[in-house]
Structure 1
Amino acid sequence: MRIFTIIIALLFVTLASCDNKQRNTELNQETENNFQYIRYEEPADPSEVKETAWNDISEGLTGSFASIDKRYDRSVPPKVQMANQWKAYAWKGERIHKQLLLWSASDLGDISFEWGKFSDKDGNDLPVENLKARFVRYLLTDEFAEGCGHRKPQDFAVSLVADAIDEVSEFSYEPKTTRPVWITIDIPDNIPGGKYEGKLVVKTTGGDQLDFLIELTVGNLVLPGASEWSYHLDLWQNPYAVARFHNVEPWSQEHFDYLRPLVEMLANAGQKVITTSITERPWNGQTEDPFGSMIKWTKKKEGDWEFDYAIFDKWVAFAQSCGIKKLINCYSMIPWGNKFIYFNEQKGTYDSLVAEPGTQAYKEHWTPFLKDFAEHLKTKQWFSMTSIAMDERPVEMMEAAIKLVRDVVPDMKVSLAGNYHTEIEADLFDMCVASGQSVPAEVLTKRAAEGKNTTYYTCCVEAYPNNFTFSPPAESTWQGWYAAANGYDGYLRWAYNSWVKNPLTDSRFRSWPAGDTYLVYPEARTSIRFERMREGIQDFEKIKVLKKRLEQLDTEEAKKALSDLETLLNKFQISALADVSAEGMVTEGQDMVNGISKELF
């Protein structure tokens, strides 16, 4: 695999060199926590900017708490009910959010934050490291339009949208702009319950200062840590995008240094699956950075096969060290186009084979690998957690591929993300269906009893609920409620970080709606979408804990609360979003869960 890796690395360097030279002239870097952190300029607003909208805005700094369900325009003053106090309720172990807006008609210089003491009447403190105030950054987005399919930027409406959450300690304010700030509080799981009060101080180098008060009531119930969450989160990782963006050699120490905070952030959202590619371009290079094979296939001169697992092993061990430990999904025995690339030792070059599942050529190509791969996995003690994975393939191809796996390695796990097929359901350990599909309740119950995963996914097909950069933020949270309401174990999305060419400033892509290819940003910048998705996962876990506790109480009050909760959950159907906002549904659900928690526990 070494020669192939070098070739790919050189290709990355060649493709990225022009972009990197331009980017490095525009960006400067500051070291924070021994990490080179890119500072960059946001794009201009493509919409018509009305300077007159700022005529009545004061020269000094103005600020207010605001909804996390809204994306506020950068170029106009926000229309919000002014509030300098935020009252919140949370479980122990929970993460909560609030949005703060800052604006002015004048030049304020640099803006920075300072947290005041955050404590209860008994002197118990919220640790300052659990409190974050981060600037929300703007980038270009487009519209859903027809969803999937090739698109040109000039054919779609373009706008500026707030999404990326930056980690810089201070921000240079541009006059006549609205600057959102994302407030995050991680409540320790061992903190005493009660009322905590604190404040966030916003300062500018121009001498302005605003104090924002926070009153947090911590309940008695405890949300387990992310590593204990049952929610089966499967966001596909793309390490190749990280190598290209940072212009580093794939699988070098530098590459892994950039990968670590990104993968750890994913693990801290409860990620269960390590995404691996066992064939070259399993999705035919559909992303800006194609997936290479993490396993080198070599056809020896004598005609037998040799498999080099060095990169596969390195990536899996690394992801496990970051906290992702449940499942290894290996793509794909049925790549798009059924084309398989390998190194031909006799020719001294790379060669390819096109073979459909069920053919003799396909069987002869995959049988030696499956046998060798299974033995290798057993040596690494990874066999029981590894699955041969496919996505959106015809059922006839799936049947043929599964039959071959069963003939060669009978106890190998198999995964599929695609349509629901009764013919192969029993053979799938990890089954993920498109959101428009329906899995019978008895099948969900049976699979759960057998310890199998059943999840759902969204992609460029669904206008809603979805995670595009223009999607209403609450839709990302709504997805966790949908899983809880419909018996799914969790959610899959095909792209955690398949970054576009310039992911920090332009989320649009040549094939799908903006933001479809990634949820987070370079250097482990989180996003409104990702934080709201994590919130929905917390809600899923809170519902699970609450149901169990209510069943244990076995009182009339508890029975009524449980019945009310089930009635509310039944509302979480995709069809409902045609008439009711995700924001309204999520707010109603969270209010009920927190209300029951406060009243009965």
Structure 2
Amino acid sequence: MDYQKYNLTNTSIMKKKNLLLTLAFAAMPVMAQMPDTELPDPHPAPASAWQGVTKAALGWGNIDTQYGRNAVPRMADRLDLYAWRGERVSAQALVLVPQGGKVTFSVSDLRNGRHVIPAEAVNRYFVRYVMSDSLRQGEYLVPDRLDPARELTAEAQTVRPLWLDIRVPQTAAPGKYRGTLTAHVDGTGLTIPFTLEVGRRTLPEPSEWAFHLDLWQNPYSVARFYGVKLWSKEHFDRMRPMMKELAAAGQKVITASIIKHPWNGQTEDAFESMIGKTLTQGGEWRYDYRVFDRWVEFMMDCGITEQIDCYTIVPWHLLFEYYDEARNCTVQEKLAPGSKEYEDYLIPFLKDFARHLKEKGWFGKTCIAMDERPKSLLEPAYAVLYKADPGFRVKGAINYFGPEVSERMYDISFSFNQPLLTPQQIAAHRSKGHKVTFYTCTGHVRPNTFVKSRPAEAAWLGWHTAAADYDGYLRWAFNSWVKNPWQDSRFVRFEAGDCFLVYPGGTSVRWERLVEGIEDFEKIRVLRSELKGKKLQRLNDEIKKFSPVKIEPG
């Protein structure tokens, strides 16, 4: 299949929505306590690489390449893009700054005769360098963070990548649009042209996408990074732009923690319980849902409304916490699934939680979620859950396959390196109205969305979803930021960037490419409904190439 002909490449936000989102990101002030300067390059290019480069230059790069900060790259003098109406397409340009100086850049309106895609429909970012590492290379800088700042002071003999996120209005007239990118280095202007051909097909709005996107949100990380009080107005204001960006990528699921530290505090900012649990002096249980309700209502207001995943009744450490009025202290107990104590603690809570969810109209949207738990723990947990209310649905991220998984989980996500489900297994799930997705995480070398991963790997995931006939993709961390992600993406437990896909105040190259792959999935879905005969067969044959669950290095 001709990739450019079908252009299964890049999401759809109308002009006004896009402008508001851009302004919201750009308006966020830099926090004084978090340095924004890039770290020194452990492997700088030799100064000789810049011999003969005496003047600033501007050219086009490509979105599949991670350009070194001190290397002198090859650049193109023009760029031709293609997009559907309603699609989001990316481009990367490069500014060579031999003498150093202040860099700014802008984009013109895109014009096609009397038809115009306004400059406001283009998000502009400086690509910032963050520290990563690998066993082979040690520590090194990677261009990943997309910073919406309006200017940047560049050091001498550096390359400054510029990223464009062009969001084509659904109402755009088909045809070839022409525009320019202009950069200024200490006032000296440089301009390069580009074209964008808009096709006749229209990508639906993200709220109408079928792709089941489940990226876990961490509100605690946001409060810590910005130094704001948890659940305050300032906290929600900080989260709103990034959660709207998540909704604009088609996110379907709200992540809620209903116990303390469901993953045993594996991130910089541990997940606390959004539901308070108190054992009164009279021996009765009282539950406080105020934080849970505010969080869910906030996320729904941001546009994420389909599903609420509640973690968990089988935590990794099996520790459960509550406040005991009689003892006037917080109590933490280890309760094993299958024990009387486990049942005595959970059944009153689950019964009351079901009641509350039904009052709010959320019960049918809610799943009690499990993460990589073995059969020995799942079976007794199911018994307690269904004893409390047989209408509860279950979500699970699972690294094995068995009846306890396939028959009971409404929303199931398999590890990428597990064998693909057969068409018969997928059909059995869908016959019950269930969903099947896959996930990547630490340990999955390739493809993945680490900072060190090749940018195209993130887009590949959407194609793999279509090839496997799955419903979507799960990743355990949308924004579990490390101490200062603006400078260093590494974390002690996992690969660099494993904990987050977006940065405070902006997105990332990995994020833009992941969204591209999700759009590709939706475009494939549209094409499969339109094409027939040999054209459909040709499309399906090409998509099958994206089905392997092991990608060899190279």
Structure 1 residue aligned with 2:104: 112
Distance 1:241 1:132 in 2: 25
CA distance in 1, matches of 2:25, 2:469: 43
1:341 and 1:133 mapped to 2: Cα distance? 46
2:77 equivalent to 1:84: yes
How far apart, in 2, do the equivalents of 1:90 and 1:401 lie?
48
Out of 115, 120, 131, the position equivalent to 1:124 is 115
Q: TM-score, normalised by structure 1?
A: 0.85
Distance 1:576 1:238, change over 3 A: closer
Pairing 1:408–2:403 present: no
One of 216, 226, 234 as aligned partner of 2:206: 226
The correspondence for 1:563, drawn from 532, 537, 540, is: 537
The match for 2:91 is 98
Q: What residue ranges of structure 2 are gaps of 5+ in the alignment?
A: 1-22
What residue identity is the alignment partner of 2:417? G
- Per the alignment, residue 164 of structure 2 pairs with 183
User: For each residue in 1:512-560, what CA deviation from the matched residue of structure 2 results, as whole angstroms up to 9, or x when unmatched?
Assistant: 111111111112x10000000000000000000000011xxxxxxx411
How far did residue 576 of structure 1 move?
6.0
Aligned to 1:55: 51
2:169 maps to a residue whose letter is P
Distance 1:333 1:461, change over 3 A: same
- 1:136 Cα deviation after fit: 0.1
Question: In the aligned structure 1, how far is the partner of 2:319 from the partner of 2:112?
Answer: 63
- Which residue in 2 is equivalent to 1:70? 65
8 Å Cα contact 1:43-1:139 kept in structure 2? yes
Taking the aligned partners of 1:241 and 1:365, their CA distance within structure 2 comes to 29
Q: Within 5 A, what are the aligned runs for 1:84-483? A: 84-107=77-100, 109-121=101-113, 123-143=114-134, 157-205=138-186, 207-424=187-404, 425-438=406-419, 439-483=421-465
CA distance in 2, matches of 1:289, 1:182: 30
1:333-381 per-residue CA deviation (whole Å, 9 max, x = no partner) reads 0011111011111111100121111111111111001100000001111
Q: Secondary structure at the match of 1:99?
A: strand
CA contact (8 A) 2:125 2:164 kept: yes
CA distance in 1, matches of 2:495, 2:205: 34
- The CA deviation string for residues 548-579 of structure 1, in whole angstroms up to 9 with x for no partner, is 011xxxxxxx4111111111111113356216
Give the letter aligned to residue 234 of structure 2: E
Identity among equivalent positions (%) equals 42
CA contact (8 A) 1:119 1:197 kept: yes
1:116-141 Cα distance to aligned partner (Å, 9 max, x none):
232112x0100221113310000100
- Do 1:465 and 1:574's aligned partners in 2 also have CA atoms closer than 8 Å? no
Q: Is the 8 A contact 1:414 1:427 kept in 2?
A: yes
Report the Cα distance in structure 1 between the residues aligned to 2:30 and 2:491, rounded to whole angstroms: 25
| 8 A contact 2:124–2:164 mirrored in 1 | yes
Name the structure 1 match of 2:39. Answer: 43
Q: Distance in 2 between matches of 1:391 and 1:34?
A: 37
How many pairs were matched up?
Answer: 527
**1:51 is matched by which residue type in structure 2?**
A
Write the distance in 2 (CA, Å) between the matches of 1:45 and 1:85: 30
AA of the residue aligned to 1:503: P
Structure-1 residue corresponding to 2:547: 573
Alpha-carbon distance in 2 for matches of 1:364, 1:434 = 33
Displacement of 1:50 in angstroms is 1.4
1:455-481 Cα shifts (integer Å, max 9, x gaps):
100111200111110000000000000
Check whether the contact 1:66–1:99 (CA below 8 A) recurs between aligned residues.
Answer: yes
Q: Distance in 1 between matches of 2:473 and 2:549?
A: 18
1:503 maps to 485
- What is the CA deviation profile of residues 60-106 of structure 1, one whole-angstrom value per residue up to 9, with x for unaligned ones? 2112111101100001211x2x3221111110000101110111321
CA distance in 2, matches of 1:119, 1:577: 41
SS in 2 for 1:142: strand
**Unaligned stretches of 5+ in structure 1?**
1-29, 146-155, 551-557, 582-601
Which residue number in structure 2 is paired with residue 595 of structure 1?
A: none
CA shift for structure 1 position 446: 2.2
Cα deviation digits, residues 244-290 of structure 1 (max 9, x gap): 11111100111111011111111111111000000001111111101
Q: Give the distance between the partners of 1:217 and 1:389, measured in 2 at CA.
A: 44
Judge which range, 321-330 or 401-410, deviates more: 401-410
Partners of 2:103 and 2:441 lie apart in 1 by: 38
Partner of 1:463, secondary structure, is coil
TM-score by length of 2: 0.92
Matches within 5 A, 1:513-524: 513-523=495-505
- Describe the superposition over 1:289-334 as per-residue Cα deviations: whole angstroms up to 9, x where unpaired: 0110000111111112111000000000000000100100000100
- Match of 1:323, as an amino acid? G
**SS of equivalent residue, structure 1 residue 125:** strand
Counterpart Cα distance in 2 of 1:144 and 1:377: 47
* Cα-to-partner distance string for 1:408-446 (whole Å, 9 max, x where unaligned): 200111111012332221211110111112322212122
- How far apart in 1 are the matches of 2:55 and 2:44? 25
The alpha carbon displacement at 1:34 in A equals 4.8
**Secondary structure at 1:329 match in 2:** strand
In structure 1, distance between residues paired with 2:43 and 2:26? 37
In the alignment, the residues of structure 2 paired with residue 144 and residue 239 of structure 1 have an alpha-carbon distance, to the nearest angstrom, of: 32
Q: Is the 8 A contact 1:31 1:37 kept in 2?
A: no
Q: Classify the secondary structure of the residue corresponding to 1:350.
A: strand
For 1:356 and 1:565, the matched residues in 2 are separated by 50
Q: Which residue of 2 aligns with 1:546?
A: 527
Tell me the secondary structure at the aligned position of residue 396 of structure 2: strand
Distance 1:300 1:406, change over 3 A: same
How much has 1:502 moved relative to structure 2? 1.2
